[in-house]
Chains A and B, each alone.
Chain A
Amino acid sequence: MTPHILLIDDEAALVAVLEPVLAAAGYHVTTAFAGASALAQAVRVAPDVILLDLGLPDMDGKDVITTLRSTIDTPIIVISARHQESEKIAALDEGADDYVDKPFEIGVLMARIRVALRRRPSEDGGLFRSGPLTIDFEKRGVQLEGHTLRLSPKEYALLVTLARSGGQVVTHKRLLAAGWAPNTADTQYLRVYIGLLRQKIEADPSDPRLLLTEPGVGYRLIVTEG
């Protein structure tokens, strides 16, 4: 079945580019130029992925996310020219799944769409695979190139949280909630534990390829394709 993408952006020139390219990449595309029509389209066409620009003429993009999330859990990828971390965090907190900064290369957008369309591993079972890394959620086992890794409970909790959103950004707030009691930890702890994790899963911890930093926002566990 052809995945359906709802593209919401008021920038006509960009929509004119993305619509045919997404179609050429094998997606069915519906476009909306404003928040109100986007909300109506989201209900009507039941898209598989929503691409959303935050700067809409009629309403704030964050409000669009909030309204969408009250009814559907379709993956939302924010595309925005506003690069402030606070904007990104706010959008992610409202329920967006990922974001892409404008300007972007089409390859990056396509990769994010594929990640969003990927079936999530279920809560209590399944495997996560990315390059040399394998996580067996059922057995609570982590392997790197076939060798079992010994992780502390906090390290494991962080890795699982990142893996469940494999390929997508996870905010500091969500990561902290996974490993620490509410209001007891700050991002400093997080930095330390991410460093420990990198020591164990990265070939070169100073040049991470799997566990990437999204400055000011959070971390992303890369999913290698193919």
Chain B
Amino acid sequence: MWDFRALHIVKPVVALPPFRAFLLTVAIIVASSAIAFSLRSERGEVAGALIFVLGITLAGALSGLAAGVFAAMATFLLYNFYFAEPVLTFRLSTGSDIMPLIVFNLCALVAGVLAGRLKDRARAADAANARLSSLFETSRALQSALARRDMIATLEREALKAGIRVRVADTAEADHARFSPGEQDCIDQALARRDAYVRHEGLVGYCLEGGGSVVGVMLLSEADAARCEPAFLAALANLAALSIERAALSERVAVQTANARTEELKSVLLSSVSHDLRTPLATISASASSLLAYGDRLDGNVSCAMLTGIVEECDRLDRYTGNLLELTRIEAGQSGESWQILAVPDVISSVLRRVRARLGDRRVSRQDDDTELLVRADASLFELALSNVIENAALYSPNGSLVRIASRREGAICRIEIADEGMGVAPDELERIFERFYRGRGSSARRSGSGLGLAIAKGFVEALGGSIAASVPGIGARGTCFTIRVPLGKAT
């Protein structure tokens, strides 16, 4: 780490005893004088003088060097006036009378210096303690911050609490608007020189080193820098570097998690696509090769049915190909670049228009608590996730039954519920139904699901930073309820 000791120019100043220290000193002088006077008549002059010495030592010890010297001078005058011959004059009769003055002052000096040192130490210890606890507070506050921006704001706020105005610049996130031209110059110089610190127009800029590179610059005024111990500044800079590094790492982890999710989704899509394409191809290939090999042995009606089948399956292939194009668009939608603010009730309406044909005679009831329920998502991605879940509800519920779709705000989350009156799902299958190619035990041969719809919906909802879960029952005591949670978006 950098060594900041060279920066330390101004020593901490010993503050003068405040008003209370002065009052205390006066009180000690008065008290010691009174005791000295009362003792002089009984115990003699020496006892009185010793009491004065005691008073001076106390004043020095309690209120510092200046108070001690003040007490010594005052006591000397009192002693000279009331005790030393000739009494009640300031005149010294002999040269030896100068002795008490010297002794008093020496006592005051020794006591005062000792007390002063003690005070300085105590004050330094207090200051160090305060810095330490502010460092601790800062590091604790930083733990809850995750984004780099939050991290820096927390750092600056906590430093301000400790009485130091610190600005931190993140090298990865050039936010020029935050800094004055002077500050920006200092940052640029610090980055250019990559030294421990640079001074520029009354500012000091510290390079924040993390993981072998400079991750940022910490700025503070020269006056603030001079007030703090070098070790404290080093620790603060270290903390700043560490937290920026940590934020950078957690951001990298987030990106990688998102990438991994994208990869998983891609493979789901790929197997979906290849499965969907091969199924009609299997019929076409089997029909055509059968007609070639067994055409003479097949009944005319059968041959005709096979040819019709080939035409129909070609049609199906064509539809899949159309969907493929749609899918590539959705692939692009995961990056977040195409994300926009969408009103959830509008999206549900548009999805319902699209899947109307597949809903058959099933009735749909809507309940949207908030028409301005907004999410930030890719439109086609979000629509496909919803339509897959709604189609699933239609697939596994009888004609004429009810499908209920509700949307509402739940804290910072948009919650969408799709419930049906279908056959429901066994409790031990509630999680497995989102797996690829898994189809519930209750599904019968007529259901034409590929076992991928819910897997794709789950992938898309998770790509939006949300979650999807199934629960039973759906409506009344029957069916299934799918709950989709997606983070709310803000209108821009």
- Partner-B contacts on A (CB < 8 A): 10-11, 13-14, 16-18, 20-21, 24-25, 33-34, 37, 55-60, 79, 81-84, 102-107, 109-110
A to B CB contacts below 8 Å, 15 in the list: A10-B445, A14-B283, A16-B309, A17-B286, A17-B306, A21-B290, A25-B294, A25-B297, A34-B444, A58-B439, A58-B440, A83-B278, A102-B279, A103-B284, A107-B289
Residues 262-302 of B, flagged 1 when their CB comes within 8 A of A and 0 if not, give 00000000010011001111111111011001100111001
Question: Does B232 interact with chain A (Cβ within 8 Å)?
Answer: no
- Minimum C-beta distance from B488 to chain A (A): 37
Q: How far apart are the CA atoms of A11 and B445 in the complex, in Å?
A: 9
Question: Does B437 interact with chain A (Cβ within 8 Å)?
Answer: yes
Residue on B nearest A83 in the bound complex, by CB: B274
Question: Does B442 interact with chain A (Cβ within 8 Å)?
Answer: yes
- Minimum C-beta distance from B243 to chain A (A): 44
Q: Report yes or no: A81 in contact with B441, Cβ–Cβ below 8 A.
A: no
Q: How far apart are the CA atoms of A181 and B309 in the complex, in Å?
A: 51
Leading 4 A-B pairs by shortest Cβ distance: A33-B445, A102-B282, A103-B285, A81-B278
Say what secondary structure dominates the interface of chain B.
Answer: helix
Q: Report yes or no: A17 in contact with B290, Cβ–Cβ below 8 A.
A: yes
Select one of A14, A58, A105, A106 contacting B442, CB under 8 A. A58
* Interface size in chain B (residues, C-beta < 8 A): 39
Q: Which of A37, A81, A107 counts the most chain B CB atoms within 10 A?
A: A81
Q: Which of B438-468 contact A (CB under 8 A)?
A: 438-445, 447, 449-451
Q: How far apart are the CA atoms of A107 and B287 in the complex, in Å?
A: 11
Q: Chain A residues near B438 (CB, 8 Å)?
A: 60
Q: Report yes or no: A20 in contact with B299, Cβ–Cβ below 8 A.
A: yes
Question: Does B361 interact with chain A (Cβ within 8 Å)?
Answer: no
Question: Does B312 interact with chain A (Cβ within 8 Å)?
Answer: yes
Residues A57 and B447 in contact in the complex (CB < 8 Å), given A17-B306, A102-B278, A103-B285 = yes
Q: Report yes or no: A59 in contact with B282, Cβ–Cβ below 8 A.
A: no
Q: Report yes or no: B451 in contact with A17, Cβ–Cβ below 8 A.
A: no
Q: Which of B274, B445, B451 counts the most chain A CB atoms within 10 A?
A: B445
Residues A11 and B298 in contact in the complex (CB < 8 Å), given A16-B309, A58-B441 = no
Residues A17 and B439 in contact in the complex (CB < 8 Å), given A82-B271, A103-B285, A106-B286 = no
Q: Report yes or no: B447 in contact with A107, Cβ–Cβ below 8 A.
A: no
Given A11-B282, A81-B275, A106-B289, output 16 extra A-B contacts at Cβ < 8 Å.
A13-B283, A13-B309, A14-B283, A17-B290, A21-B298, A24-B297, A25-B294, A25-B297, A55-B450, A57-B445, A81-B278, A81-B282, A82-B437, A102-B278, A103-B286, A105-B289
Question: Does B305 interact with chain A (Cβ within 8 Å)?
Answer: yes
- Minimum C-beta distance from A39 to chain B (A): 13
Residues A20 and B282 in contact in the complex (CB < 8 Å), given A34-B445, A55-B437, A57-B444 = no
Q: How far apart are the CA atoms of A40 and B139 in the complex, in Å?
A: 67
- Minimum C-beta distance from A216 to chain B (A): 16
- Minimum C-beta distance from B189 to chain A (A): 58
Question: Does B156 interact with chain A (Cβ within 8 Å)?
Answer: no
Q: How far apart are the CA atoms of A20 and B294 in the complex, in Å?
A: 10
Select one of B274, B294, B313, B441 contacting A24, CB under 8 A. B294
Q: Chain B residues near A21 (CB, 8 Å)?
A: 286, 290, 294, 298
Q: Which of A13, A14, A60, A81 counts the most chain B CB atoms within 10 A?
A: A13
Q: How far apart are the CA atoms of A56 and B444 in the complex, in Å?
A: 9
- Minimum C-beta distance from B422 to chain A (A): 14
Q: Chain A residues near B441 (CB, 8 Å)?
A: 58-59
Q: Chain B residues near A20 (CB, 8 Å)?
A: 298-299, 302
Q: Chain A residues near B305 (CB, 8 Å)?
A: 16
Q: How far apart are the CA atoms of A57 and B449 in the complex, in Å?
A: 8
